[in-house]
């Protein structure tokens, strides 16, 4: 089996197991750690409530099939609950193409086009196995890749520092792969459906 196909099959096996066990795989995160993780300024804009009563943090990779599956569940949560705030943290664990994808989105965010770049990449059915794959998806979404690459060349040290910080956070949380979520002050590794997310948010509100 080709490596990328094996990776996808393995990822989906992981999400099937995780969805069924997510309710049990919940660990508390110290308040100080949560405060540091959600501290401003964020490199990419949060969505949902600007001052919500429950914050959800997602560690993700654009090339992660489970993350792509989780995306519509997160959107449904935010759209259905006006008091939820969602912060996305790029954690590219699938290699150089994933790092490049994150850099591209950072560049897009700098000119106010984060949502368009994020939606194009997370919503793609294409394997992002190379820089050219990422470029093809963004080009189809209307992005000027010369401009994107020029921004990356200028700001790459800054972007690398952001990814290093996200990796450090994920490692300290004990995450072993993407996606990983913090809902309120609870860590939940792996994917889940909208009902499970809603339940976790309600538990966060109740402090349980």
pLDDT digits (tens, 9 = 90+) for 155-200: 999 999 999 999 999 999 999 999 999 999 999 999 899 999 999 9
Domain containing residue 167: CATH number: 3.40.30.10
For the stretch 60-107, pLDDT in tens is 999 999 999 999 999 999 999 999 999 999 999 999 999 999 999 999
Domain ranges, residue 103: 3-206
Dist. CA 87–CA 43, nearest whole Å: 10
What integer pLDDT is reported at residue 41 of this predicted model?
A: 77
Q: Does this model's pTM top 0.85?
A: yes
Q: Quick one: DSSP state of residue 39?
A: P
State the total domains in the chain: 1
Task: Please report the sign of the dihedral spanned by the C-alpha atoms of residue 163, residue 76, residue 128, residue 7.
Answer: positive
The answer to whether 69 and 191 are in contact (CB under 8 A) is yes
What integer pLDDT is reported at residue 26 of this predicted model?
A: 82
* % helix, strand, coil for the chain, step of 5: 55, 10, 30
């Amino acid at each position: 089996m080709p490596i990328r196909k094996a990776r996808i099959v393995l990822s989906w096996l992981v999400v099937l197991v995780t969805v069924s066990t997510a309710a049990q795989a919940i660990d508390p995160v110290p308040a100080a750690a949560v405060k540091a993780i959600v501290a401003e300024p964020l490199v990419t804009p949060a969505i949902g409530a600007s001052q919500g009563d429950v914050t959800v943090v997602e560690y993700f990779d654009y090339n992660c099939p489970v993350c792509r599956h989780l995306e519509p569940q997160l959107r449904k949560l935010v759209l259905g609950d006006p008091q939820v705030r969602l912060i996305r943290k790029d954690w590219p664990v699938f290699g150089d193409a994933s790092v490049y994808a994150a850099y591209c989105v950072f560049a897009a965010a700098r000119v106010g086009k984060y949502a368009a770049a994020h939606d194009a990449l997370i919503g793609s059915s294409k394997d992002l196995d190379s820089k050219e794959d990422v470029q093809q998806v963004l080009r189809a979404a209307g992005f000027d890749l010369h401009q994107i690459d020029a921004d990356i060349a200028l700001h790459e040290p800054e972007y690398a520092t952001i990814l290093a910080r996200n990796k450090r956070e994920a490692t300290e949380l004990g995450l072993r792969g993407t996606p990983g979520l913090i809902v309120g002050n609870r860590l939940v590794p792996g994917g889940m459906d909208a009902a499970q997310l809603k339940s976790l948010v309600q538990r966060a509100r109740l402090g349980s």
